[in-house]
Every structure is written in C-alpha cells, then in structure tokens.
Structure 1
Amino acid sequence: MELELRHARIVVTISTTGSISAGAQELGLPQPSLTAQLRRIERAVGGDLFVRSRSGVSPTELGSRLVPRLADLVRRADEVMAEAVAATGGPLCLGSTEWTPPTLREALQAALPDTAVQTRTLDPAAALHAVRHGTLAAALVSRAPGPPGDGARGDVDGDGDGSGSALGRTLIVREPVWLAVPPGHPLAADGPVDAAGLARFAGRPGTAWVRSAPDHWFAPVERRLLDGSGPAAGRVLHHVNSHQEAMHWVRDHGVAALTTPSGALPGVDLVPVAGTERVELALVWRASAVSRETLRTLVDTLRAYYCAYARTRPGYWEWIRRHPADFRELRRHLPEPVDA
C-alpha cells in the first residue's frame, strides 16, 4: 500500500486529538473503520505509530519521527488547497448558530472585499457536520463549558492553527450567562446578582420561566444554574430552540429566562449574574477551505463585530470594560478599563 494524503491526515488527526475515538469523531468515521485504516498504515510504514492505552494514544519511537513529517505534509497540502479555493473566487460560506444578524454578513464582506461571503444559521451539531463535509468553510459555534466535544483543535492566536487536522478551532469570546426579565422588573435596578441571588429569585413563588429544549446546546447550562433552586424547574411555561424565541416570551409574556447578552433583544432587561458560568463562541474551520490570511481576517473581524454588537446591549459594554480579564480574546478591541 502506498501512503496517500488521506493516510497522513488520519495519523495526524489521531495524534492531535489524543485518541482513536476522538479522531474518529473529528473525521466523521466509525471507530472500527479508523482502527482498521490505522493498522494498514502501520503495516505500510513497518511498525506501530502509537501506543494504545485507556487514557488515549502516545507516539512510539517510530511515531515520534514520522508524525511531525506527516503533519507538515498535511499542512502544506491544506495551504495549497486553501490558496486554490481563494484563487477561484468562490464564495466563503460561514455558518452561525442561534441567529445571524444581517450586519454580520456585511461586516465580513467589507473585510473580505474580493470574496463573496454567504451566511447560514443552523445548530452547532449541524454546523460542525457541514464544515467537516465541505458544505461550509467555517462556522461560529456556541458551546456550553466543559470538555471539548467537537474534535477541533488549534488557535490562530498561538503557535498552532489546526492545519495538522481536519478542523481548526479558535475562541472568539467567552460570554457570560445573564438573567433576562420583563421591562421594568425591579431586579434589573438592583444590579448584578450572584449564584445565590439567582437561586433566591428562581425560588420565588410565581416566578415563571422559559427554558431551552432538552437537546439544545444551552440546556445543560440552565440545568446547572436552575435545577437546584427548589421548584423553579416545575414552572416552565415553554421550551424554546433559540435565545431569540426566549426573549420574545420574556418581553411579551412577563416570564424570565437565562441568556447570553448577545442573545437578548431590545425590550427586555438584563441582570448580570456574577461568578457563575460563561459559554464559548468559537470559530471552527476546514483547513483546506480557508487560507491563513483569510482566517486571521475572519477572527479579527468577528471579534471586532462582537464588540460593536456588545455596545448595543444596555449595560453589557460597561460590564466588559469593567472585567477585561474575562474577555482576553477581545483585548485588541477594548479601550482602557474603567474603575469597578
């Protein structure tokens, strides 16, 4: 068997993800199929590339010599493909979860004047699938905190860029989780609450909620913050599939909801919740579809756009300025912090 680029990508993906199961998830392959392919590759190179254990894989002596060379091969091939895509003048298709403001596409198009930019809204799992399989070049993906679950690696702010594996990933911002209440609600005038204050509010008689559907990416955050608050979980009037839908319920029906500040709508009051959870908004891309220059432009434009959008959310921009350590990814776009 002669080694091909796809074989190099398999080896590098297993190495960067740290296990065969995670590598299979990133490549979109059944684990037994990936295991069988790795065995054929190892026979072709004349020895094992990895030592398998319950905690994952580690390179053998042969693997330590070959994996870096295979990673360089994948990186160079991806650079060639990304430049070829850019040279053809084809559209750059970007996915976004929850919702896609029209001004986002306009900002990206202005930053990439020689590239036609298209946007699409879809849920995180569908976005990752579309990037992996070539329907999208990149996607903004929202994710609850916890162990990485999408298999993507890399960070354009550091030494890595994800080019050794099928997908690259970099963090755009970590958003706080706040409380949305109807306009004029007295809690909004009281300022930030902490986890204990949120629990007290959730346990008040008569407090009604809208919450995410059980399979929505935001649902685990709600469970962690609300399900320990007495009977609050039993007073859910409706389950939604987006923050935008939840905000309509808050505004029009006098209920409460948890949200990220960027998910709020005019006509609701936001109550900061200090010291609880933040969720990740990350850019995931297919290395062979996005050149490094385009990637840097995308990341910088998305962070700048986020800051511009944060200015339109009452109180949020001031919060960011008072807590710059929580928004390190945005540091290039932040003014001098104000005194707390």
Structure 2
Amino acid sequence: MDLELRHLRIVRAVADAGSVSKAASLLGLAQPALTAQLKRIERVLGGTLFERDRHGARPTRLGELVLARARVLLPAAKELQDEAVRFAHAPSPGFRIGATNGPILGGLVDRLAAERTVSTYTSWSADELTTMAELGRLDYVLTGACGDGGTPMGSLRWETISYDPVFTLVADTHPLAGEKELELSELAPESWAVTPGDGCFADCFATACARAGFTPGTIYETDVATCTHLARVGRAVALCQATHQAAPGLAMVPLAGAPLRWRQLLGHHPAASDATWVVEQAKQTHAEVVRRSPVYQDWLVRNPGFGTAS
C-alpha cells in the first residue's frame, strides 16, 4: 500500500480530535474500521504514530514528523484541487456522472438524458470517483455509505438521496425464502456474497453479525451478477439494497430491525448551478424504484423513517 492524502487526513484527524473514537465519529467511520486503517498506515510508515491509553491518543516522535508534513501537504493539495476545478470545471454541455454499484443510476441517466447529454463512469471506489469530481473530470458522484456513518471526505457537497435497509437475496427454494423478515442470527450457518467497496460496510457487517451472536463464514466478494448467481444456486446469501429488483429464482427477504443500513448519496462541486434539479431527479428516481418493489413497500409500512429523503 502506498501512502495517500486520505491517510494523512486520517492522521491529522486523530491528532486534532485527541482520540481514535472521536476521530472516527468526525470522519463518519466505525471505530474498528478507523483503527484498522491507522494500523495499515503505521505499517507503511514503519512505526507507531500515536500512543493510546484511556486518556486518548498522543503523537509519537514519528507521529509529530508525519503531522508536520501533513499540515503542509494537505492545504497544498487542496489548493491544487481548487485550481484544477476552476480550470476544468467550465460549464459542460452535458452531465458527467460517476457511480459505484447502485440501483438508481439507470433511471437517473434516463431522466437527465431527456434534457442534456449524459456520460457515465463506474468504479468500485467512491474515493476514486470523489477525486475525479474534485479535479473537474466528473460533475456528479452517485455512491453510498453505511447508514450510521458520515459522508465521504473531500471538498464535494453531499446530498442524501435515500436511507435504505440492507435486505438479503436467497434462492426461492431456500427454506426461509417465504418469511416476512428474518433475524440475522437465523442465517448464521450461511455463506455470504457481497459486492466490494472501499467504505466501512465490511466492518459494519462483521459488527452486526457479532451482535447477532456469530461470526460470518465464507464471504464471496464479487460483482453483482456473481452475487445473484451464488444466491440463486443456494451457494450463498447475498446482501443487497432494499431497492434491488430480485430476478427469477430469487427471493428478497428483509432483516428484522434493519441491522445493516445504507444511504444513497449524490456528491457535486459546490459551484454546480444545476445541482438542486439533479438532486431532485435522483430522489424521484429512487421513489420510482421503491414503487416497483412490493417487498420494500410492505416493509416501509412497518418501518417508517426509511426510503426516499425528503
């Protein structure tokens, strides 16, 4: 792993907050996820950056050196980004949208293309897409984050499109396929299929399983098509957003209490003049997807507070 600017932001955040737990809250990450990232950064830099005890976290001598450089490099990088955006973010005749895996990109493109030309770029990495938008190579970023976390770091403005539970996909022949909803603990013996990403979802999933009293077994991290195939043949339970449209041979079953939650986010440069309209199109797209999902609609009746953001 190479040292990146986001690693320096993490080190600075821990130093400024005075503890890993406070920094995790400010960065919108689960504390175990931030602790794991900090350990990886320390391995790259060759030593411990903070002394941690019940009073908080204090920089070591190596930590002080890294912090001194970070406080120079991060403002310089921000200034470079701002200059690049001013240079490259000239009014575009169309919309350039970057997106991670999600259920509303197709509908949003269809809506926007009725007014302007649209180009898309997909990536598993929200960090990559955010950087591209900050540098003026994308106009909008459509991505997601764990429901209880914060928004991605960076200079973009982020709008919440929806707040959704995570459901499960099982084969329609699975013994639990006809259930109204399942306790996560009922799926303890299963293998799992999930799509990749660079957020804290993997840590949030592990935490939810621990609260349910088990450690997940085999986890297949792969693309959407493979996840659904593994679920259809009974090889794994796939985790999916509640707006997912289950294909033949599959049943979508909610998890009781929504132990896993997901927010759809749309990021844009603060100077984007058409952002309000695009955000509204994204919300209307999400609402349409919900209307096409009887399982999600039924669940929403019993669980208000989720769905399309107001």
TM range (shorter): 0.5 to 0.7
Could you say if the C-alpha distance between residues 307 and 191 of structure 1 is closer, same or farther in structure 2, counting changes exceeding 3 Å?
same
Q: CA deviation at 1:140?
A: 1.0
Q: CA deviation at 1:300?
A: 0.8
8 Å contact from structure 1 (residues 202, 229) kept in 2: no
8 Å contact from structure 1 (residues 172, 299) kept in 2: yes
TM-score by length of 2: 0.64
Query: Which residue in 1 is equivalent to 2:132?
Result: 130
Task: Provide the rounded CA distance (Å) in 1 between the counterparts of 2:256 and 2:163.
Answer: 14
8 Å contact from structure 1 (residues 202, 232) kept in 2: no
Could you say if the C-alpha distance between residues 265 and 120 of structure 1 is closer, same or farther in structure 2, counting changes exceeding 3 Å?
farther
Which whole-Å deviations, capped at 9, do the CAs of 1:52-84 have from their partners, x for residues lacking one?
A: xxxxxxxxxxxxxxxxxxxxxxxxx99xx79x8
Are 1:252 and 2:288 an aligned pair?
no
Query: Which residue in 2 is equivalent to 1:317?
Result: 297
8 Å contact from structure 1 (residues 244, 263) kept in 2: no
Report the count of equivalent residues: 241
Task: Provide the rounded CA distance (Å) in 2 between the counterparts of 1:244 and 1:149.
Answer: 28
Q: Map 1:1-340 onto structure 2 (within 5 A).
A: 32=68, 35-36=71-72, 85-86=90-91, 89=93, 91-99=94-102, 101-110=105-114, 113=115, 115-123=116-124, 124-148=126-150, 150-152=152-154, 166-193=155-182, 197-199=183-185, 201-204=186-189, 207-212=190-195, 217-227=200-210, 233-234=216-217, 236=218, 239-267=220-248, 268-275=250-257, 276-288=259-271, 290-291=272-273, 294-327=274-307, 329=309, 331=310
Question: Which of the pair has more CA radius of gyration?
Answer: 1
| Structure 1 runs not aligned, ≥5 long | 1-16, 41-76, 153-165, 332-340
Task: Provide the rounded CA distance (Å) in 2 between the counterparts of 1:120 and 1:93.
Answer: 8
Could you say if the C-alpha distance between residues 174 and 39 of structure 1 is closer, same or farther in structure 2, counting changes exceeding 3 Å?
closer
8 Å contact from structure 1 (residues 167, 287) kept in 2: yes
Could you say if the C-alpha distance between residues 33 and 263 of structure 1 is closer, same or farther in structure 2, counting changes exceeding 3 Å?
farther
Could you say if the C-alpha distance between residues 107 and 229 of structure 1 is closer, same or farther in structure 2, counting changes exceeding 3 Å?
same
Task: Provide the rounded CA distance (Å) in 2 between the counterparts of 1:308 and 1:38.
Answer: 41
Query: Which residue in 1 is equivalent to 2:36?
Result: none
Q: CA deviation at 1:191?
A: 0.8
Task: Give the alignment's Cα RMSD to 1 decimal.
Answer: 3.8
Task: Provide the rounded CA distance (Å) in 2 between the counterparts of 1:38 and 1:233.
Answer: 38
Which whole-Å deviations, capped at 9, do the CAs of 1:76-132 have from their partners, x for residues lacking one?
A: x99xx79x833x52x32111111575443112222xx1x322122112122112112
| Structure 2 runs not aligned, ≥5 long | 1-12, 18-22, 28-65, 77-81
Task: Provide the rounded CA distance (Å) in 2 between the counterparts of 1:250 and 1:216.
Answer: 23
8 Å contact from structure 1 (residues 131, 286) kept in 2: yes
Could you say if the C-alpha distance between residues 269 and 253 of structure 1 is closer, same or farther in structure 2, counting changes exceeding 3 Å?
same
Task: Provide the rounded CA distance (Å) in 2 between the counterparts of 1:119 and 1:85.
Answer: 18
What letter corresponds to residue 171 of structure 2 in structure 1?
Answer: P
3-state DSSP class of the match of 2:267?
Answer: strand
What letter corresponds to residue 239 of structure 1 in structure 2?
Answer: Y
